[in-house]
Amino acid sequence: MTNKINDLLRRVEAFKPQAAAELEEFRIKILGKKGELTALMEEFKTVAPELKRELGQQLNRLKTTATERINALREELGNAAADRAARVEDMTRPGSAEPLGSRHPISLVRREIVEVFARLGYTVAEGPEIEDDWHVFSARNSPPEHPARDMQDTFFIEKDPDILLRTHTSSIQVRTMERQKPPIRVICPGRVFRNEAISSRAHCIFHQIEGLYIDEGVSFADLKQSLLYFAKEVFGGQTAIRMRPSYFPFTEPSAEVDVSCNLCGGKGCNVCKGTGWLEIMGCGMVDPNVLTANGIDPQKYSGFAFGMGIERIAMLKYGVKDLRLYFENDVRFLRQFDSAL
């Protein structure tokens, strides 16, 4: 009988089920009412009295070991099943959206401006950021003594011949006039560089969009109506503009363009310095000397040009008072534009 007990004990310890049903079948076979342990108990009743003490201890140890082993195996199988369930994706669960980034506010405003002028028939033109003196200054009717040529305002890379970082995107307009005959209707977005101290209102790097329209019979009235349409589209239908006489080498006559302050409704506030107006761009009719320098007959064609800083438009549109925020990549600032994709 001892051999039967030891053999059954070895089978219990070596048993490794693959499923809960297999374990339950084994439990019934060993511990059930008609199981092998019950049969050993019946056989125990017939052994000699002097052997009952030792065999009884062996049977109790067998029953305890079998019960503990089966319970441990049941727990292992339960944990394994739970792990498999956790690894299997529940197709009925609601989906979890992955966090998305967003466009930079400068990119948002640039795209909006491009879309506004695209509705007026303008196409986008681009050019290099590293330019020569001709495309940045000379072809724009800038005299040799113009302050912008000074080292204090321009980042020069080489001298004689002058190679520099462009100070405005007007150089793209010049390149467009060189390779394209009128009619010309382009806008020129891009990054520009100036040797300025960084502050809340100025930066050495910023973005511009300039526009150029050349055709027969283009007048100052066309310029004004185009800019009024732009202002209403970007700042709202109640926006008004005013144009103040100014001077630019590229244009004659020239003007500064102001929009009514959208923060105070034109009543006057700290942002507009109590005037009710905010300056947004410069503009004017293309100087005949510029047309001639670029191979366009000023007797036949006329045109207008305008230029604005994208950061300036973004500051007015979003109420941002510090230009440096656009360049610091502070996620606390940028997350405010997550909804504007």
Cβ atoms 105, 312 nearer than 8 A = no
Is the predicted pLDDT of residue 79 greater than 60, yes or no? yes
Pairing of strands 123-124, 184-193: parallel
Structure tokens given for 135: 């495309």
Peptide bond into 161 cis (omega under 30): yes
Q: What is the pLDDT of residue 335?
A: 84
Supply φ then ψ for residue 244, to 5 degrees: -110, 135
Q: What is the pLDDT of residue 271?
A: 67
Structure tokens given for 94: 């609601």
Q: Which residues contact 203 (CB under 8 A, 6 or more apart)?
A: 196, 311, 323, 324, 327
- Please give the average per-residue pLDDT across 232-256, as a whole number: 91
Q: What is the pLDDT of residue 339?
A: 63
H/E element, 230: helix 220-235
Q: Minimal CA–CA distance to 203: which of 336, 328, 332?
A: 328
- Cα–Cα distance measured from residue 273 to residue 254, given in angstroms and rounded to the nearest whole number: 24
H/E element, 333: helix 331-334
Read off the pLDDT band of 120 (50, 70, 90): very high
Q: What is the pLDDT of residue 148?
A: 62
Is the predicted pLDDT of residue 341 greater than 60, yes or no? no
Is the predicted pLDDT of residue 190 greater than 70, yes or no? yes
- Please give the average per-residue pLDDT across 300-311, as a whole number: 94
Q: What is the pLDDT of residue 87?
A: 67
Is the predicted pLDDT of residue 160 greater than 70, yes or no? yes
Read off the pLDDT band of 151 (50, 70, 90): low
Peptide bond into 253 cis (omega under 30): yes
Is the predicted pLDDT of residue 147 greater than 70, yes or no? no
Domain ranges of the chain: 2-87, 105-337
Structure tokens given for 252: 């004659």
Is the predicted pLDDT of residue 316 greater than 60, yes or no? yes
Is the predicted pLDDT of residue 243 greater than 90, yes or no? yes
CATH tag, 105-337 = 3.30.930.10
Residue 203 one-letter amino acid: H
Structure tokens given for 341: 């994709």
| Strand residues in 162-204 grouped as ranges (E) | 163-165, 184-193
Is the predicted pLDDT of residue 149 greater than 70, yes or no? no
| Residues, the chain | 341
Per-residue model confidence as pLDDT tens digits over 19-65 = 878 878 877 887 777 777 777 777 767 777 777 778 777 777 877 88
Q: Which residues contact 199 (CB under 8 A, 6 or more apart)?
A: 323, 324
Q: Of 36-40, 68-72, 101-105, 326-330, where does mean pLDDT reach its minimum?
A: 36-40
Is the predicted pLDDT of residue 195 greater than 80, yes or no? yes
Q: What is the pLDDT of residue 305?
A: 95
Read off the pLDDT band of 254 (50, 70, 90): very high
Tell me the Cα Rg of the chain: 42
CA 278, chain centre distance (Å): 29
- Cα–Cα distance measured from residue 327 to residue 106, given in angstroms and rounded to the nearest whole number: 10
- Cα–Cα distance measured from residue 47 to residue 58, given in angstroms and rounded to the nearest whole number: 14
Per-residue model confidence as pLDDT tens digits over 255-298 = 999 988 877 766 777 667 788 888 889 999 999 999 998 899 99
Q: Of 26-35, 197-206, 215-224, where does mean pLDDT reach its minimum?
A: 26-35
- Cα–Cα distance measured from residue 125 to residue 314, given in angstroms and rounded to the nearest whole number: 21
Read off the pLDDT band of 301 (50, 70, 90): very high
Residue 133 one-letter amino acid: D
Mean pLDDT score across all residues of the chain = 84
- Please give the average per-residue pLDDT across 314-340, as a whole number: 83
Total-model pTM: 0.67
Read off the pLDDT band of 92 (50, 70, 90): confident
Is the predicted pLDDT of residue 203 greater than 90, yes or no? no
H/E element, 104: none
- Please give the average per-residue pLDDT across 232-249, as a whole number: 90
